Chain A
Amino acid sequence: MRRFEYARPSTLAEAVGLLAHEGERARVLAGGTDLLIRLRDRTLTPAVVVDVKRIPEMAPAISESGGWVRVSAGTTMTAVMESQVMRTSFPALVEAARYVGSVQIRNRATLAGNQCNASPAADTATPLLVYGAIVLAVGSAGERRIPLDEFFVRSGVTTLGTGELVTAIELPMPPGAVRSAFQRRTRRRGHDLASVTVSVALADDGVRLAYGSLGPRPRLMVGGPGSVDGLLERAMSEATPSPTSMRAGPEYRLAMLRVLGKRAIEAAA
């Protein structure tokens, strides 16, 4: 790994000031399960690594207030899986978190970091999209609430500005019964990256379907009650799976999108 300076701010204001000052020279370190790999292979060579885990607002916490559940940026996949409110209200997200890496990775990787890395195959992206998640970010200009669907741009790129820091992911508590499910295809059981991910959420007032690993970013589709089969057909025609990925060919991914989409709809219903 190339040398860098290590900063461990103890307040949010200190972190925001540091990131504003360092700009592109800085990288944020949360769980580190993606960042350390990129530091080692030198695809990233920051001058400063800013460890945000000791900032009180970022400390691992899942809390509920005013109809929203807040998952702080330091919250790991393991904590998401073990949370009672998550298991009760956002089961597709818990299911997706269970599939991230291994025990060792889930003990370290954060839900917020999984979004910030913006991998098209990110397991937790599609359930967060169908649950209507919001990304909370702070920068020197103040706080922004960014709907997750407006956060992803393409692999590794988000609409987060230089110097902006994600502090939490927020999920609206469903007003009534929401039936949801997550499905995923990999080459093998256990520790592997997904070649297709699909989530669906069916509510009385409408349906949401999201898919990942079939284009440069995870996609969300929204429709009226009863339209979920139509959404899946539209997903089939709009998906753009990579022709060169080593994990699965485009024809296979599209075929599996149909299978997993139908399974997710059945599991949610």
Chain B
Amino acid sequence: MTEINLRINGEARSYSVEPHHTLLESLRDDLALTGTKECCLVGECGACTVRLNGAIVDSCLVLAVEADGGEVQTVEGLAAADGLAALQEAFLTHGAVQCGFCIPGQLMAGDDLLRRSPHPSRAEIEEGLAGNLCRCGCYYQIFDAVEAVATGNAAK
């Protein structure tokens, strides 16, 4: 076991991990942050997307020990203390959530895109979310939700 220090959703955590465990496994099994989902395990579906040191990554392709000393944000850290983030509200308003399994990853990728590019074009939204698959096929609704936040119409 190896001792690691992380800031997770703003909170400092120190704990021991197995070197062969991924950040995804560690978040879910060691820290009970089960919002981040395990799915393809080869970096194609994006269900395990988290923000690590300011950049989104597939947490199934990062060892927990690699994140030592770093800053991690998961979907649990997206909402503010007083309620859901605008992007989360927009997902609800636009019917972007069917089974919901891919949604934590979609939210993290959408949030990342809007931080990098507050007013993305439709093509930029599609490209920004290209690493996140949705088997329910809610792509248009998901793109609409991101677009709505970008144009400031999320509350309508």
Residues in A lying within 8 Å of B, measured CB to CB = 1-6, 8, 29, 32-33, 36-37, 39-40, 49, 51, 53, 78, 101-105, 107-108, 189-191
Contacts and interface: CB of A to CB of B under 8 A. Distances in A.
B67 to A, nearest CB: 11
A102 B131 contact: yes
B127 A190 contact: yes
Interface of B: 2, 18-22, 41-44, 46, 49, 55-58, 60-63, 65-66, 109, 112-113, 126-128, 130-132
B20 A37 contact: no
Contact of A32 (B18, B41, B63): B63
Given A6-B2, A108-B57, 17 more contacts: A6-B20, A32-B62, A36-B61, A37-B41, A37-B43, A39-B20, A51-B66, A102-B43, A102-B130, A103-B56, A103-B109, A103-B127, A103-B130, A104-B46, A104-B57, A191-B44, A191-B131
Contacts, number: 86
Nearest to B108: A104
Nearest to B55: A107
B19 A4 contact: yes
Contacts of A36: 22, 60-63
A4 B56 CA distance: 26
- Classify the secondary structure of B's interface with A: mixed
Contact of B112 (A4, A53, A103): A103
Nearest to B109: A103
A108 B61 contact: yes
Contact of B56 (A5, A6, A107): A107
Nearest to B56: A104
Contact of A33 (B21, B43, B132): B43
A51 to B, nearest CB: 6
A2 B18 CA distance: 11
